[in-house]
Amino acid sequence: MGTKGTHDANAISPVMKQIASIDHHSIKTILVIRQHNQLGDMLCAVPALRALQESFPAAHIRFVLSPLHHDIINGCPFIDEILNYDKTNFFNHPRRFFSFARLLRIPHPDIAIVISTVSSSFTSNAMAWISGAPIRIGPASIADQTKGSRQFFTHPLVLDWTNTPRRHQIERNLDTVRFLGADTKDFSIDIGLTDIEKQFAREFFTQNKGSAQRVVGFHPGAGKVQNRWSASFFANVANTLGKRFKAHIMITAGPMDDEPVAAMIKELIVPFTIVKGRTIREVAAIIDQMSLYITNDTGTMHVAAATNARILSLFGPTNPYEWAPLGERNRFLRGKGGDIDLIKVDRVIETAMEMLKKH
């Protein structure tokens, strides 16, 4: 899915020297730890998992993550086994953590690797040490923010992208596995949508879009208020595209998006469907069938990046060069001075029309 990425010619990897003399075909088990709660951070690590699979073809790849993200990543073709690190459950029932700790060691991993690009986690780093892997790789510090847990690693990495702010998060995740000599040319995010999930989406479209030839999706919500473009602006764009292209409008909504969604639909004068109460993989399958998806910078944007939809992402304070979905088919717009509401409606409409005409 998606498009193959390219390396940023102006970026310099913080990984200076690879581990020498690893027989890639002799590695049987790799434990990968990426248990932070942020959805976008986790999905941006998928190409790193692809790199490990391509570079260690005989390895069984075990992936430690938060239960919050189990459903979206379950089916990813680069993972053989998922281990859920349920922090709340383990805190309330310490004995369950000890059972989980034993799972980290069975089967005994040859390599344990902690992938982190934004902040270092003492818990994640400790899990690498608990696994007993003879090779343990992870961040000693990120952007000079030392966490004092380098002792857990046989190969602690000093990661700093301060001088390369446009280095995409996918590249930053890959930098850690590149230390092992693992790499890939394919930067697409593959979550392994099944034929059943795709059939569900086709039936959903049949039931909802009527005779419209195109479906344009919108996500007006975002967990951070400063990342939300005005709901009224979204409605303006939806009305224009709906009328001009005879497109059906679909609005994706998470559990915290009621306010912006209600404000948007209040101003809609074209047919629309709200996609709510669906599983995250069902939402991904629905987005996969869309002609265009216009979204704020939020977790659903990264889910869309794992589909075939063209994505127009809108940014305020966060860096789009670091977070926007990759690929020539995708576009992003950013508000002047990091103010998302300074993105002009006409500019969004013009960009969206160009993308729809190419569809």
pLDDT of residue 6: 41
| Whole-number pLDDT of residue 119 | 87
Dihedral (Cα; 276, 280, 283, 289), 10-degree rounding: 180
Indicate the domain borders of the chain: 24-178, 195-358
Q: Which residues of the chain have pLDDT under 70?
A: 1-17, 20-21, 146-148, 359
pLDDT of residue 144: 73
Asked whether the domain spanning 195-358 has the same topology as the one spanning 24-178, the reply is: yes
- 188, 5 Cβ separation under 8 angstroms: yes
pLDDT score of 17: 62
d(CA 116, CA 340): 27
pLDDT at 147: 63
CATH 3.40.50.2000 assigned to 24-178? yes
* DSSP β-bridge partners for residue 317: none
Write down the pTM of the prediction. 0.91
Least Cα distance to 17 among 181, 169, 150, 154 occurs for 181
Q: ∠190-193-195 over CA atoms, to 5°?
A: 145
- Domain 195-358 sits in CATH at 3.40.50.2000
Q: 295 near 219, Cβ under 8 Å?
A: yes
Determine the pLDDT at residue 1: 41
> Residue 139 and residue 161: Cα distance in Å, rounded?
13
User: Which pLDDT tens digit goes with each residue over 101-120?
Assistant: 999 999 999 999 999 998 88
Cα(182)–Cα(137) distance, rounded to whole angstroms? 13
Enumerate the H helices of the chain as residue ranges. 39-43, 46-55, 70-73, 87-92, 94-105, 122-130, 169-178, 195-208, 231-244, 258-265, 280-288, 299-304, 320-323, 345-358
- Residue 103 sits at φ, ψ, to 5 deg, of -65, -30
Residue 347, number of CB atoms within 10 A of its CB: 10
